[in-house]
Structure formats: structure tokens, C-alpha cells
Amino acid sequence: MRLNLRSVSIAAIVILSAVSSVSCTAEEIAVYATMNPTEQLAVNAALAEQSAVVDAPPASQPGGFLACVRRHESGGNYSAENPSSTASGAYQFLDSSWRTLSARAGYGGYGGHAASAPDSIQDAVAVWTVANIGRSPWNGTGC
């Protein structure tokens, strides 16, 4: 049997998720398989370190623009759920955006749902998004 890089990558994510007590959905594994090797390495590292991140003391929340976004989008509620869409968490990431952006920021997992992630991870993904994509995901917030 000949293994290709994609098969090995998928096997690695499944093994890492089993070892780190983080479960990945079939959809998350499919998204992982479409990432470039650098992004996959970031996901692997995040999965390996996730238990330590969850146990880490909470960091201070980002201020300025992201503080405004939190107030506008969720009233600062990291468990917020939008009843009209899949948006959740303090920054109201849509599930599809959360899966992509959290993986690219190195924090994949958490069931593909922002509200499932600890506050510090939601903050880290929001900070990564602003640093790498800009403020456009939150256009129209008035922030």
C-alpha cells in the first residue's frame, strides 16, 4: 500500500486528536486536509498543546477595536449564541469562519464552534484575524 502526504496528514490529525483528548469532526478533518503543510503543522502543534492552553491562566482581553467588537457583537459574552445564524462567542464568528480562522491561527478544534472555545482562545483567534486579515470581518459593527 502506498501512502501519500494527504493520507499521512489525515492519520496524524486523527492520532493527535485521540492522544490530546480533542475530538475532530469529519468536516474538521476534511478542512485540515485542504490546508497547506505549514497550516497543518500549526494545527498539529495547537492540538498537541491544547490541554496546556485550557489549563493556562486567562490572559487579559484585547482592548481597542476588539473590545468594541465584543461589546457590539455579544455584550462581552463569550458563550453568546446567535439565534439567526451559526455565529457564536464574544466575536460572533460564523462556524465556517471559526473553523478556518481558528485553524490558521493555530487553535483548531473546539467542535468548530467559537462559543465552545475558552475565552483566551477566542481572543487569540480574534487578534490573529485582525493582524492577518484586518478589520473587514467586522465591517458594519460601528467599531
Q: State the residue for C-alpha cell 453568546.
A: 80
d(CA 94, CA 36): 22
pLDDT at res. 47: 62
Amino acid at 62: P
pLDDT computed for residue 3 by the predictor: 46
Domain boundaries, the chain: 5-138
Q: What is the pTM of this model?
A: 0.58
pLDDT, tens digit only, all 143 positions of the chain: 454 555 545 545 544 444 444 456 666 676 777 878 887 777 766 666 554 444 444 445 667 888 899 999 999 999 999 999 999 999 999 999 999 999 999 988 777 899 999 999 999 999 999 999 999 999 888 88
Contacts 24+ apart (CB under 8 A), 36-45: 37/5, 39/103, 39/104, 40/9, 40/13, 42/103, 42/104, 42/105, 42/106, 43/13, 43/103, 43/106, 43/108, 44/12, 44/13, 44/16, 45/106
Provide φ and ψ at 93, rounded to 5°: -75, 135
